[in-house]
Each structure stands twice: as C-alpha cells, then as structure tokens.
Chains A and B, each alone.
Chain A
C-alpha cells in the first residue's frame, strides 16, 4: 500500500533525487527563462499553462487510478489545507509579483543556477518578502490563519473523485485547445521570421481552413 513513507534519512536522500528530476524537467521545459515564463501573460507562449496543467492532470489521474484499484490510501496523502481567503488574496499578490519579477520561486532557482542574474535578484527579493510577511504577521494573524480544513474540489462540487478528475482533465484539454489557438493568433506576431510561404501547403492539408 502506498505511500511508502520511508524513514527520515532515506526520505531526505530520495528528496534530493526527486528535486533533481524536478529541477531538470523545469530546465528542459524552458522554465529557466523569465521571458518565456512572462510570455504566458501576453498569450504569446502558453508553455506555462501547458506544462502545469499536463503535470497536474498526469499526477491526478495517476493518483485517482491507483486509489480506485486500492494501491494508494488517499488518507495518507498530504492535502494542502484550505484557507480560502488567505490563499485567494495570496494568489493575487503572487500573480502580480510573478508578472513583475518574471519568475516563481521554483523556476527562479533553476534560472539562478543557469546564470540568470535577474533570478538571483528575484530570489533575494523573495527572501525579503518572507521577512516582510513575518514582520507584519502579528498584525494579520487573524486573517491569515482563518480556515485550515481538508477541503477538496469533490466536497465543493459534491461529486465523486473520479468524476472530478475527468472534469479537470476535460477543462485542461479545453484550455490546451484555447492556448494553441491563441499562440497561433498572437504568438506569431512576435516572430515575423516565419514566412507566409506555407499557406499553399496548409490550404491543401486543412482544406482551406484559415490559420
């Protein structure tokens, strides 16, 4: 029965290995580049959306499948407790910082070790943000700690885990289709190097569908 839950020091060794793959994949996805990450917010390069939601769907479907055949005990999987107001406000603030700074914490680490000085600045800023938050924490503690229940989308929607997993997958597929469309419409503008020489071929394949 999973999760396996190894002893602390074996856990720590395996944590380094898991992190290694995490960092490696982030680099290969292109997430060590602030320009690529920020392009998401101008609909020019939807890589962030595609990678993030493919990863969520992959892990979610894997968990759901293994739960349904009894190989995973979901009660032993850590589920982030829900603090609806602090998480929503925190997310809005986070998003603002993301588009100003060009990174999120994990991607800035990958960018920093591959030589991006702006990522080093971002990480130092993040540490500063942690300190500012800690300094004002006594003033906002009441707001920041309201909530803390184990709440899932399944509770909110009143639907079984498998059904929600299918709905999330369909939503992701819809967003991918939208993302591909927006990239074709807006992404090409950024690179006029793509010559309009292909339409003849494309017309043949797509039967005259406009690009």
Chain B
C-alpha cells in the first residue's frame, strides 16, 4: 500500500514511538491537569459536532436552528465556538502537527492494511467515520470525552460505553479482517 500512494517524507527515518506505558502516564497527567485546572477532562467529538453545526448553518440555517440536537448552539446568546472543547481541539491539531514535524512521521498517504486498495480504504474510512459520528452522538462523547475522561472519574455510563466500544470493535473485527491483516 505504501508503494502505491504518493508520499512525501519530510524527514529521514521516523523517530520510534514512545513506550505505551510512558505515553499512557503522559496522557494521564495531561488529563489530570485539565481536571485540576478546569474541572473537566479532554474531548474531541463535541468539537466536531459544533463545527459541523456551524458549517451546516451556512447552507441550511433554519434547519440547524430548529434541530433538537444542534439548535442549542444557535440559541440567542450562544455561539457555536463558545466551548472549552473547541479551543482544546485547536490545540490537538497543533500538537499533532508539531508531533509529526518533530518525529519525521509527516507523510501524505492513504494508510491501510496490506491487502486493501487505497480507493477502497478511503471509501471505508468515510463509512467508518459516519458510523463513529452517529455512535458518538448517541453516547454523548467518544473515546476521549467518555472513555478517558469518564473512565478516570469512574462515571458508570462511561465505563459501559468503553466496554461496548471494545465489544463492538472485537465483535466485527473478524468480518472485516481483510481491511487490516
């Protein structure tokens, strides 16, 4: 797959990844810091929801404003961007970019399993995103906002979510093994 995709490696050989347990401690300390400073943890999907609502409002302002799920962001006095998560996600994009630039892992490519064509992988990444987007809204959060954050505060529903995520993924993994193995 790497051979067929256009790639521009800005650096030589990429730096190795951090040890998983050290990465986990680092991530846990970032999470702990947000609890101690802001009283809340990390997130990701909430910012995608707000940004999606904003972009959709350019094309269908009435629909968004009247929608039971998104309308609240456009109520009088509310702003789509007026949330901690939106700013945090700007940082995630910058931090990820900085990480890629300093590790030599900046590479324009379509990444996927060894048996899958780039075009198929692209289509399935969109399909997977659709399913994840729907699931994250139903669960009111994703692996960041529910599993990590809710997990660390011992929230019962977040633990149910986390177990269900692994259950859903492991349950389907055998049937989609051609995508990854």
Decide if A22 touches B122 in the complex (CB within 8 Å): no
8 Å CB interface, A119-138 against B: 119, 121-135, 137-138
A105 shortest CB reach to chain B, Å: 4
Tell me if A182 is interfacial: C-beta within 8 Å of chain B.
no
A194 shortest CB reach to chain B, Å: 16
What is the total of A-B residue contacts with beta carbons within 8 Å? Answer: 540
Tell me if B78 is interfacial: C-beta within 8 Å of chain A.
no
- Given A11-B38, A129-B134: A28 in contact with B91 (beta carbons within 8 A): no
Q: Contact string, B120-162, partner A, CB cutoff 8 A, digits 1/0?
A: 0111111111111111111111111111111111111111111
- Given A19-B94, A101-B129, A125-B128: A14 in contact with B37 (beta carbons within 8 A): yes
Decide if A103 touches B128 in the complex (CB within 8 Å): yes
Question: What number of B residues sit within 8 Å (CB to CB) of A?
Answer: 122
Complex Cα gap A113–B105 (Å): 11
- The 8 Å CB contact of B89, one of A62, A80, A109, A138, is A109
Decide if B133 touches A80 in the complex (CB within 8 Å): no
Q: Report the nearest B residue to A147, measured CB to CB.
A: B157
List of A residues within 8 angstroms of B173 by Cβ: 41-42, 99
- The 8 Å CB contact of B44, one of A30, A62, A109, is A109
Q: Report the nearest A residue to B60, measured CB to CB.
A: A131
Q: Report the nearest B residue to A99, measured CB to CB.
A: B169
List of B residues within 8 angstroms of A82 by Cβ: 155-158, 160
Question: What number of A residues sit within 8 Å (CB to CB) of B?
Answer: 127
Hey, which bits of chain B sit against chain A, CB under 8 A? Answer: 8, 17-18, 20-21, 23-42, 44-45, 48-49, 51-53, 55-56, 67-70, 84-85, 87-100, 103, 105-113, 121-173, 176-177, 179-181
Q: Can you give 11 contacting A-B residue pairs, CB < 8 Å?
A: A4-B36, A89-B138, A91-B139, A91-B146, A103-B132, A109-B89, A117-B109, A121-B126, A130-B48, A152-B153, A190-B181
Q: Given A15-B84, A16-B87, A141-B68, 9 other A-B contacts at CB below 8 A?
A: A2-B37, A13-B87, A20-B95, A55-B152, A62-B35, A94-B131, A99-B169, A104-B142, A130-B136
Hey, which bits of chain A sit against chain B, CB under 8 A? Answer: 2-6, 11-30, 32-35, 38-42, 44, 46-47, 50-60, 62-63, 66, 72, 76-84, 86-111, 113-119, 121-135, 137-138, 140-141, 144, 147, 151-156, 161, 164-165, 168, 176, 190
